[in-house]
Amino acid sequence: MITMIAEETGLRWNQVKNTIELLDSDNTVPFIARYRKEVTGSLDEDQIRTIGDRIKYLRHLEERKQTVLKSIEEQGKLTPELEEKIKNAAKLQEVEDLYLPYKPKRRTRATIAKEKGLEPLAEMILKQDMTQGDPLEYASEYIDEEKEVLTAEQALSGARDIVAEVVSEDADVRKVIREIFKEKGCLNSEAKDTENCQDYEIYKDFSEPVKTVPPHRILAINRGERENILKVWIDVPVESNIAAIEKVYVTHIQSIFTDDLKKAIADSFQRLISPAIDREIRGLLTDRADEHAIQVFAQNLRALLMSPPLRNKNILGIDPGYRTGCKVAAIDVTGRYLEGSTIFPHPPQGRWLEAKERIQDFIVKYEIDVVAIGNGTASRETEKLVAELISELDKSIFYTIVNEAGASVYSASPVAKKEFPELEASMRGNISIARRLLDPLSELVKIDPKSIGVGLYQHDVDQIKLAEALDNVVESAVNLVGVDINTASSSLLRYIAGVNSRVAENIVKYREEKGRISKREELKEIKGIGDNAFTQSAGFLRISDSDIFFDSTAVHPESYDSATRLLQELDLSPDDVRSNGALVRLKLQHSDKKLPELAEICECGVETLEDIIASLEKPGRDPRDEMPKPILRNDVLSIDDLGVDMVLKGTVRNVVDFGVFVDIGVKQDGLVHISQVSKKYIKHPLEVVQVGDIVDVKVISIDKERGRIGLTMVLDR
């Protein structure tokens, strides 16, 4: 298995072996990627997960082989040749194909024919060694009124049913037909009612080769079929399929049973093989589409989670609405809720001036720096209100639009109720909107990733695989950033390597009872954090004001001695580095020792030493700070202000297979079609942009009636 994975991934045998051993010993992926680089050869998280997924599949395959071999052996039908084929199978599908003839099955036309004693006649048809005589003469010997075989033709028909099943269960035949479906098949769909298929207009009479149909179309067609609007099937050339089976079974000898064999083969293909392979290929297409959609969703989610925090700002969050008003909430630089209110600037109440005054009161009272407006219903009208107010103030203040997807899910969640038990659900939502601007990661981890609104067809894909992939993304992002153990919520802490929901709650409870945690070693006093959990989590949990300087960095406790030796070698104290991390690199440049020599002095590997140096250079480094900052505005645009060829700055809100949705500051996000994303050919927009990117776009089309804006990122056309 290790050899197979090494060959598939292009990795060294030892890298694969060591990684599997680490995973088998309950080490988490973020921990292995960050703190076991010498052992894995510096594999990243994706490579480690690939190895983990592959070994899981191969072990399952091996278990299935043993189950199948045991079952066939118990039936007394296991031959050395069959055993070798099963043992050498590289895919589950191959094992299932080989097992098919021996699998317990329900009563079929073939089993009924066997009960009537027609198996010997079926053998004659399959052997094709009779060249003289009349098939009906041989068949007449099997007439038996008690068994309800009344004529020779009935006997032949039953024998053909047996042959059809034998052919359909032939692993080699299924392999051939599967390839024809993949190479020559077309995925077809048609509307069951052409008058009522508005959402599926392009699929009401649709056909595309199986091998080229893109994932988003597969998912759309599947949804149309599920909603009983579309009829879907795979169309293949019947004659070439039947000819391919005949090539396996029909010999060149002209047997008296050749016609019966050909009839059985045609029946086998149309009645048994074709429907089964159709289901199988549809399943493979769906799996492929699911995998692609999940991957795109995961990449979008990661980009969103890694959006830079807007530090040291007092923020006013506004959750817009018409009839029920706009909820307003002020938070301070730490995210602490200060005060909330409801304003009614829009119809039916229309208390515009009163609403402006109320917002101004908040801005003055809490020294608000930025207003965060949710992008839902009445968003642009609220934006106009805020922009108008900003133009009248003598204070420098900005606003930005925040994606509020999932805010309502959060507001009704147990987490929100626990945080703000005294507030109603609608008021909690705008606190979430404000906090998403202050620290996106800390706030978004409280929401089911599926509800965050950066995917496509997320409710149509395999929900278990989706949840697992998105959990991996959140875990990866949280551990990459690290968390302050004294301020992090349990929602954030539970994603730290080695920490589960129960332990996260215990950490919060410990803080509430004992006060601030002063050093990493103290973690061991918390219920649920044993030696392994401490090893996994410690490096990702930071204590900003600890007396032990390394506790505030990404240096792992197991490397404190090595880090101390490094500082001694460079003649630096922890206080020197705390105040100016750049001194580490400066001293290294003037050192006469190379990294391998320093690593030997520090008694650690070169990779670990490099990580220690990077951690000490920027002790408070947050990788999110390198991402593009949100666009802060102080004026408002509407679709009426736009003109073709106008160039604007925008924020990428979502990336899908066919293009990029960009917020350019008007009510509707504009669409950059994939053909307009780059000058060069690209297979997917994610090759060029990701969610949260700030991009320059040019307007190329405006459809005011449908509220559609076409954009290009190729500006010199």
- Tell me the mean pLDDT in the region 400-406: 90
- Checking if the pLDDT of 204 tops 80, the result is yes
- Amino acid symbol at 337: Y
The answer to whether residue 530 sits within a structural domain is yes
Model confidence pLDDT, tens digit, residues 620-669: 788 998 888 888 888 877 888 899 999 999 999 999 999 999 999 887 89
The answer to whether residue 215 sits within a structural domain is no
- Checking if the pLDDT of 498 tops 90, the result is yes
pLDDT of res. 442? 95
Return the top range by mean pLDDT from 124-133, 260-269, 706-715.
Answer: 260-269
Contact present, 306 and 623 (Cβ < 8 Å): yes
pLDDT of res. 194? 85
pLDDT of res. 631? 86
Q: What's the rounded Cα separation, in Å, for the pair 713 and 702? A: 16
The answer to whether residue 467 sits within a structural domain is no
- Tell me the mean pLDDT in the region 422-443: 94
Q: CATH no. for residue 703?
A: 2.40.50.140
Residues 90 and 34 in one domain: yes
Residues 426 and 532 in one domain: no
Pair of tokens at residue 632: 């802060």
Beta carbons within 8 Å of 281's beta carbon, 6+ residues apart: 178, 181, 182, 185, 210, 234
H helix intervals, 116-205: 119-127, 135-140, 152-168, 171-184
Q: CATH no. for residue 326?
A: 3.30.420.140
Confidence of residue 451 (pLDDT cuts 50, 70, 90): confident
Model confidence pLDDT, tens digit, residues 87-131: 999 999 999 999 999 998 889 999 999 999 999 999 999 999 888
Residues 324 and 437 in one domain: yes
Residues 322 and 417 in one domain: yes
Q: What's the rounded Cα separation, in Å, for the pair 350 and 392? A: 20
pLDDT of res. 480? 96
Contact present, 268 and 163 (Cβ < 8 Å): yes
Residues 576 and 514 in one domain: yes
Torsion of CA 539, 543, 544, 548, to 10 degrees: -90
Does residue 177 sit in helix, strand or coil? helix
Percent of the chain with pLDDT over 90: 88
- Name which of 166, 163, 164, 115 is nearest 142 in CA terms: 115
- Tell me the mean pLDDT in the region 199-222: 94
- Checking if the pLDDT of 614 tops 60, the result is yes
Percent of the chain with pLDDT over 70: 100
- Tell me the mean pLDDT in the region 60-82: 97
- Tell me the mean pLDDT in the region 600-615: 96
Q: The pTM is what? A: 0.88
- Tell me the mean pLDDT in the region 255-268: 96
Structure-token match 């995925």, residue found: 187
- Checking if the pLDDT of 717 tops 70, the result is no
Pairing of strands 708-712, 670-673: parallel
Residues 607 and 647 in one domain: no
Model confidence pLDDT, tens digit, residues 559-584: 999 999 999 999 999 999 999 999 99
Q: Examine residue 348 and say whether the peptide bond preceding it is cis (omega within 30 degrees of 0).
A: yes
The answer to whether residue 226 sits within a structural domain is no
What residues pair up with 330 in beta bridges, in sequence order? 316, 339
- Checking if the pLDDT of 443 tops 80, the result is yes
pLDDT of res. 522? 96
Q: CATH no. for residue 566?
A: 1.10.150.310
Structure-token match 């030997």, residue found: 600
| C-alpha separations of 109 from 112, 135, 157, 275, 407 in Å | 5, 21, 10, 16, 57
- Name which of 526, 446, 440, 540 is nearest 485 in CA terms: 540
What residues pair up with 181 in beta bridges, in sequence order? none
Residues 349 and 425 in one domain: yes
pLDDT of res. 426? 87
Confidence of residue 197 (pLDDT cuts 50, 70, 90): confident
- Poorest-pLDDT segment among 150-154, 452-456, 470-474, 588-592: 452-456
Residues 562 and 652 in one domain: no
Domain count, the chain: 4
Residues 350 and 446 in one domain: yes
Model confidence pLDDT, tens digit, residues 24-62: 999 999 999 999 999 999 999 999 999 999 999 999 999
Crossing angle for the helix pair 152-168 and 258-267, to the nearest 10 degrees: 60
The answer to whether residue 129 sits within a structural domain is no
Q: What's the rounded Cα separation, in Å, for the pair 531 and 533? A: 6
Among 102, 126, 160, where does a domain finish? 102
- Checking if the pLDDT of 232 tops 70, the result is yes
- Checking if the pLDDT of 208 tops 80, the result is yes
Range of the domain at 609: 509-625
pLDDT of res. 684? 94
The answer to whether residue 632 sits within a structural domain is no
Residues 607 and 571 in one domain: yes
Residues 322 and 447 in one domain: yes
pLDDT of res. 629? 86
Residues 23 and 80 in one domain: yes
Task: Quote the distance between the C-alpha of residue 221 and its chain's center.
Answer: 20
Among 598, 625, 652, where does a domain finish? 625
Q: What's the rounded Cα separation, in Å, for the pair 565 and 572? A: 10
- Within 13 Å, how many C-alpha atoms sit on residue 217's CB side? 18
The answer to whether residue 52 sits within a structural domain is yes
Model confidence pLDDT, tens digit, residues 285-321: 999 999 999 999 999 999 999 999 999 999 999 999 9
Mean of pLDDT over the chain: 94
Q: What's the rounded Cα separation, in Å, for the pair 554 and 34? A: 10
- Please classify residue 549 by burial: count the beta carbons closer than 10 Å to its beta carbon, then call 0-12 exposed, 13-18 middle and 19+ buried: buried
- Name which of 704, 644, 714, 692 is nearest 668 in CA terms: 704
Torsion of CA 525, 531, 532, 534, to 10 degrees: 40
The answer to whether residue 515 sits within a structural domain is yes
Among 77, 102, 127, where does a domain finish? 102
- Name which of 29, 30, 42, 28 is nearest 554 in CA terms: 30
